[in-house]
Amino acid sequence: MPERTDADLTLYYAPRTRAFTALWLLEELGVPYRLESFDLASGRHKHPEYLAQNAMGKVPAVVDGHIAVSEIGAIAIYLADRFGDAGLAPVIHEPDRAAYLRWILFNAGVIEPAYAERFNKWEPRPANHAWGSFDQMLAVVSDGVKIGPWLLGARFTAADVVVGSTLRFGLAFGILDKHGPIGEYVGRATARDGFIRANAIAEREAERFSPRPR
Ligand SMILES: N[C@@H](CCC(=O)N[C@@H](CS)C(=O)NCC(=O)O)C(=O)O
């Protein structure tokens, strides 16, 4: 497990949040990092020192030496390029780079707001809303994961961590169908060693802050 207290790379993390995506990515990259884990109930993410790392006051945030990066898509692009030897990012002149970037930005720009449409029962206005509609998103994602095993075909990339993580939440919250291409894709992603390691850390941290009654 590459968690280390002396690492230069720090992940600001809170249990049961989107910060899991960054944790999973770090485990896939296999680089040493320090896990700075706190309960959102502590309000630490609204303190000035934290706001200096992420002005939105949200988790995750990653600090690499003196460089702070926030927003899951930016964190994924940054870390996968920074630790390029892990092979999780097609480089700029590879033809797959375009699809890779597209899926990472699709997560924040289309999948996330489409979930909000569904959760909040907003009326779909596909021509006006930047994300199209939930149904349009679902059709594109279902098609994107169908051939597989990964979004770019044979190659697993940081885009699979970002999109796979959001799809996993969609399945857990019951807005996506477990039976079908998305369920199968998430099943493949969550069978990976990197995911299993990250999930064990996530469970440990969740238990630390809110232990289950015994
Ligand atoms: N757009 C952000 C979303 C992160 C986010 O929504 N984090 C939530 C937890 S899932 C958060 O920190 N909420 C606490 C708050 O806003 O007070 C990203 O991509 O990193």
Q: Is 40 in the pocket of ligand 1 (CB under 6 A)?
A: yes
Q: Is 30 in the pocket of ligand 1 (CB under 6 A)?
A: no
- Top-level class of domain 96-192: mainly alpha
Q: Is 199 in the pocket of ligand 1 (CB under 6 A)?
A: no
Q: 133-162: buried (b, 16+ CB within 10 Å) or exposed (e) per residue?
A: bbeebbeebeebbeeeebbbeebbbbbbbb
Place 214 in a pLDDT band, splitting at 50, 70 and 90.
Answer: low
Place 5 in a pLDDT band, splitting at 50, 70 and 90.
Answer: confident
Q: Where in the chain is the domain with CATH 3.40.30.10?
A: 9-87+194-209
Query: How many Å apart are CA 111 and CA 101, to the nearest integer?
Result: 14
Instruction: Return the residue matching tokens 């941290």.
Output: 205
Q: Is 58 in the pocket of ligand 1 (CB under 6 A)?
A: yes
pLDDT, position 65: 96
Residue 201, SS3? helix
Closest atom of ligand 1 to 59 CA is 12
pLDDT, position 6: 77
Rounded average pLDDT over 35-47: 97
pLDDT, position 92: 95
Q: How far is the CA of 37 from the centre of ligand 1 (A)?
A: 14
Lowest mean pLDDT across 3-7, 118-122, 151-155, 156-160: 3-7
Place 182 in a pLDDT band, splitting at 50, 70 and 90.
Answer: very high
Distance separating the N- and C-terminal Cα atoms of the chain: 28
Rounded average pLDDT over 53-63: 98
Closest atom of ligand 1 to 17 CA is 10
> Across all residues in the chain, what is the average pLDDT?
96
CATH code that applies to domain 9-87+194-209: 3.40.30.10
Q: Work out the number of other CB atoms within 10 angstroms of the CB of residue 106.
A: 23
Strand boundaries in 7-131, DSSP class E: 9-13, 34-37, 61-64, 67-70
Query: How many Å apart are CA 126 and CA 134, to the nearest integer?
Result: 9
Q: Is 32 in the pocket of ligand 1 (CB under 6 A)?
A: no
Place 183 in a pLDDT band, splitting at 50, 70 and 90.
Answer: very high
Q: Is 72 in the pocket of ligand 1 (CB under 6 A)?
A: yes
Q: How far is the CA of 154 from the centre of ligand 1 (A)?
A: 31
pLDDT, position 213: 62
Q: Is 75 in the pocket of ligand 1 (CB under 6 A)?
A: no
Question: Taking the model in full, what pTM does it have?
Answer: 0.97
- The residue whose CA has the least distance to atom 18 of ligand 1 is 71
